[in-house]
Chains A and B, each alone.
Chain A
């Protein structure tokens, strides 16, 4: 598997209100660590990880953005060319959920690929105090044709699954990404690898 050639490089973007745990999600995914003292992102940050989905190896260039409104004048520039976007809210913060509409409209304005895959992630499900129910999240995702998953960067739950699902969906969408000359392997050897995800389209 390691020697396998990389099928494509995908650009993925993480957006959402400040403090919902975007950087933590990313860190959990790339380094499998969690730092409760994760510093607030300034501008944008960037991580790379290769991921294998259904035997197709994809290199992910993940751009983590700052959620502060003031930074929003800068970050949209990084929306360009992204094939997938992860929109994060904090299940323990209603406000972070209500702001999703604004984020979506921003996405609409700045994204260059209109068929980009959007995923909604409700983070921090480890928290006791919940302000956004899973049903609300599901409803929102259905309304806007997004993938949906709840996750916790702290407990690791759902994080890997979220990224895998997103990448799989991107690879299955024709015209969204370009091969670097290799043909796509769609032999359904695994189907869905880890299948206790509850993703909804």
Chain B
């Protein structure tokens, strides 16, 4: 090669005489110097076991030989810190010493070759394994530059390397990689002072039978060294036999493949639908490799020939085991997840998948009529099926009748579909068409089949619980007992076992139908869980005087769950609202009728008691009340049902609470009426307080009261304040919120934008104000603020002069009228007793009683005082008065002196504005803030618009969630790796499910891969446990030993068997082998006549007693070592080594032979 390259003179620039070959050598030397390998002190010996554990270090460089690129690689065992320090200190010591002494120190390489500490490392570079080297250089062709397949090229490279080595004084061996890479064929050379070492290797498919045993190999070794004739110094031998156990006779893989047919046969219950499969289909542990090692033998001591062997595995001093895992065991859970995720790549719509049959089925307008035969499912039903069957029953029977018409069209056979739907909607089981269930789907929740798995959990219960809680808290999916979760798991199982994509589409179709059915028939969807969002609001609602959402039986969409779950929760909210709305509607009509006929205050069932109490007594009161009641009714009718100008005017009057004209008209005829009354009803007394408030009280009957506010009285009327029934806040799903936030954000951050935003969001405020006004006729903004935003009502502690005066006046009044008050108290209590309708809360009553008196005491003075005062001022004045009264009369009354905060008093601010425009309308007659019909349709539209691929993405969080729980359940506490894996899966899953916006398949792929890994590891541990625990033990004590052995097998590539063949683990392994062997031999005996050839494998070792327990070793390794003078008998004594590995069809001999260069 070099000769050819000589012609390229033009290219040579620097040194004209140098050939490519010389340049190659020069470059090689350069690299050696660069890596500081030249003239270096020998490395210390490698401690035992270091080859496997120690970190290896590599350096790489490219080298050109003409235009052929080579890679040169230096690999060495990283010395431990202490060894390095030692070598440094020794170098320092030797620096002082004579040069001569250095010469005598044997180079690294010769030490390595004869060292017996690191034979058969379990994991190391092949060159290290074969030659025991701790450092070496490899020159190999760069990728795509062909292979070195001719001897001459190899020789050129080798000799170039040799020149470079000797020139630079480098003692590191250099190997040239020959032939194809997979053959791992190398030739090498090392130059040490006074000697050469040549590394030779042969790699053969077949070896002559005489060399197949130690005997033959020894002869070969001696022959190679050329000293058969000399009295041979002892050759030391290390031997390692590896036996492979493939048949696990006693413990077949316990995992049964899933039974694909049982389900459709209808014999298996619902549990199949919510239990994810887990484990490997095939045994994840395929082979056990037992290596028996005889580390130091003298060749003279042992005999191994084709006929006889001393090497009995049971006598081997060292046993070690490695486990061969099945490449890719088919793990059930992983398979399920993959198959499910596969659906994400499908682009078909549900309609396309189910064919034209279903196309009309998605049109919502056609779902109403059971007779409508264009509807996909109804087309499949028996047309004469009675339509009144509610809930699932009908859907199921509709679906089941599919079979009668087009059985081949239904991807899920009707029986199965029935089961699945019953599993998903347990509240529908046993309905069978009983009408009684209608409208109370939630009550009929009879869930016998809980999704809790029956199989006893593998992992510790605490851990399972921990993971359960962790997953529940962090994952954005749905609670494990929810419908959404069941649906997801069910879909995944159905996809894998019962018909794939078509089945998924089919079930989805059915699911949507059921959703629509429930919506239309007012049946709540079961098991949509409690919402986390309820927690804080319920806790805050304990402060009863503040507004808060009434706790709904149906939770609002939980924003911590996945979108699909939110949507279903939303639908449920809609159904609930619809039910409420419809029942409330009827209820209202009833009460109106009732009121009209009886004239008793019963306008609202939730209206609070004090009204009734006051009225309960005599006929006169009832009469007045009836007058009041009927007026109110009239007003109401006009006011609410005919929304005309008049009523608006009235409402405004009510709102401002100070329009003289109307109040004058309406109050004058009443006052005498109330004055005539024997019994002092709360209402009538209050009406004396001020004309305007009387007017309000008279005009506006209180409606929609929820509960009295603790110790609060109106500032304007001094009536007890009531918390109104308010419209519940609109439930929102995250996408709706996002939309809303976007709209709000789009308004920009200008002042106008803010104003507009406030206006847009004031609907709820308006509704609440209207409800409040309805519940508290004649109230003022101050009252509202005290309920709604207590901090915006400043209670005064230091009164200004005017107020003080007023107070003093009041005090006088009060002291003057104290006696009267007492009298009346007595009368009052009498009347209350008579009424017999006391509210439960006695404390409240006491307050009321006390309060009732005070305005009356002051009434003579107050009515004129409040005239002509603007509403705000009225409120203030009256509040200060009444509260000061109460301070004296009832000490535990809340002081009600005060004024609105500055910001609430800004003229024209939103609150005042909204307050002014608010009318007296109880919540139930207001415009709905939440349009359940529209929202439900939106949800249903969303559901039916999902392609199966999108659906899968929406379901994946739950399926992942279920898988995580499965992992935790199967987690083996003995294998710490599993815990780590599960935790990793969780944290990854949390990230993926919380990823904002469109879910991505790719992200799920990673999670699924991690789940697969965890599953595989878990299956392996399970497999090993079944293999090793079973009564293989003779001594009971050793159980722990075996236990440790198994867990270390999972974590280390190779595990030493303590005590060799006679340790507990060793004897267990022995039993496994002998069992397998017996089984194998029995077969052989049976087939003796035909199976002669098979039995005639080369090494059937007969004589030794225990040999029968083990098969013939599948790999035999020998390392022969000797110290022999070479090449001539008078040469120096140098180490020689030959490594042989004999595997059927792959024989390799690797020799390192030193020859003296001085005494040849």
Contacts and interface: CB of A to CB of B under 8 A. Distances in A.
Nearest to B733: A77
Nearest to A106: B536
Contact of A72 (B537, B749, B909): B537
A61 interface: yes
A155 interface: no
A44 B749 CA distance: 12
Contacts of A114: 474
A40 interface: yes
Contacts of A41: 758
Contact of B789 (A40, A74, A105): A40
B74 interface: no
Nearest to A93: B791
A76 interface: yes
Contacts of A72: 536-537, 540, 548
Most buried by A among B533, B548, B737, B749: B749
Interface in A121-176: none
A48 B909 CA distance: 23
Given A40-B904, A77-B737, A80-B559, A18 B732 contact: no
Most buried by A among B753, B792, B903, B911: B903
A73 B754 contact: no
Contact of B910 (A39, A69, A81, A105): A39
Contacts of B536: 72, 76, 102, 105-106, 109
A120 B754 CA distance: 25
Interface in B528-542: 532-533, 535-537, 539-540
A109 B791 contact: no
A96 B902 CA distance: 18
Contacts of A47: 749
A47 B901 CA distance: 25
Contacts of A106: 536
B999 to A, nearest CB: 14
B1011 to A, nearest CB: 22
B537 A77 contact: no
B789 A68 contact: yes
B548 A42 contact: no
Interface stretch (B108-116, B134-142, B761-769): B761-769
A81 B759 CA distance: 25
A87 B729 CA distance: 24
A83 to B, nearest CB: 12
Nearest to B536: A106
Contacts of A73: 537, 548-549, 729
A18 B792 contact: yes
A141 B753 CA distance: 34
B745 interface: yes
Interface in B1054-1083: none
Contact of A18 (B729, B789, B996): B789
Contact of A42 (B729, B737, B747, B762): B762
Interface in B72-89: none
Nearest to B730: A74
Given A37-B903, A70-B768, A102-B536, A42 B789 contact: no
Contacts of A40: 789, 792, 903-904, 909-911
Contacts of A96: 791
A79 B768 CA distance: 24
A19 interface: yes
Nearest to A175: B991
Interface in B786-841: 788-789, 791-792
A157 to B, nearest CB: 21
Contacts of B732: 77
A69 B757 contact: no
Contacts of B792: 18-19, 40
B533 A109 contact: yes
Contacts of A77: 559, 732, 734, 737, 740-741
B437 interface: no
Contacts of B734: 77, 80
B560 interface: yes
Given A37-B906, A40-B789, A102 B737 contact: no
Interface in A25-72: 30, 36-49, 61, 67-72
B546 interface: yes
B547 interface: yes
Contacts of B537: 72-73
* Size bracket of the A interface: 35 or more
Interface in B752-781: 753-754, 757-758, 760-762, 764-765, 768
A91 to B, nearest CB: 14
Contacts of A76: 533, 536, 559
B925 interface: no
B791 A18 contact: yes
B758 A43 contact: yes
A68 B903 contact: no
A71 B903 CA distance: 18
A40 B474 CA distance: 35
B546 to A, nearest CB: 5
Contacts of B902: 36-37
A17 B791 contact: yes
Contact of B744 (A44, A105, A109, A113): A44
B533 A110 contact: yes
B761 A42 contact: yes
A80 B549 CA distance: 21
Contacts of A102: 536, 539-540
B994 interface: yes
A22 B758 CA distance: 15
A131 to B, nearest CB: 13
B247 to A, nearest CB: 50
A109 B749 contact: no
Contacts of A70: 546-548, 726, 764, 768, 788
B744 A74 contact: no
A74 B911 CA distance: 18
Given A40-B911, A109-B533, A69 B749 contact: no
Interface string B450-479: 000000000000000000000000100000
B322 to A, nearest CB: 40
B534 to A, nearest CB: 10
Given A18-B791, A39-B910, A105-B536, A74 B761 contact: yes
Contact of B765 (A18, A42, A48, A49): A42
Nearest to B532: A109
A19 B754 contact: no
B758 A42 contact: yes
Contacts of A74: 729, 761, 764
Contact of B901 (A19, A44, A71): A19
A126 to B, nearest CB: 15
Nearest to B744: A46
Nearest to A41: B758
Contacts of B560: 109-110, 112
A73 B765 CA distance: 12
B745 A46 contact: yes
A123 B356 CA distance: 66
A81 to B, nearest CB: 6
A48 B549 contact: no
A77 B736 CA distance: 10
7 tightest Cβ-Cβ pairs between the two chains A and B = A43-B761, A70-B547, A73-B729, A19-B791, A47-B749, A77-B737, A42-B758
18 contacts: A18-B789, A18-B791, A30-B749, A37-B902, A39-B911, A40-B910, A43-B757, A43-B762, A45-B757, A46-B747, A61-B745, A68-B547, A69-B543, A73-B548, A76-B533, A78-B741, A93-B791, A109-B532
Given A36-B902, A37-B903, A39-B758, 14 more contacts: A37-B906, A39-B909, A39-B911, A40-B909, A41-B758, A42-B765, A43-B757, A43-B762, A43-B764, A48-B749, A72-B536, A77-B559, A77-B734, A109-B532
Interface of A: 17-19, 30, 36-49, 61, 67-74, 76-78, 80-81, 93, 95-96, 102, 105-106, 109-110, 112-114
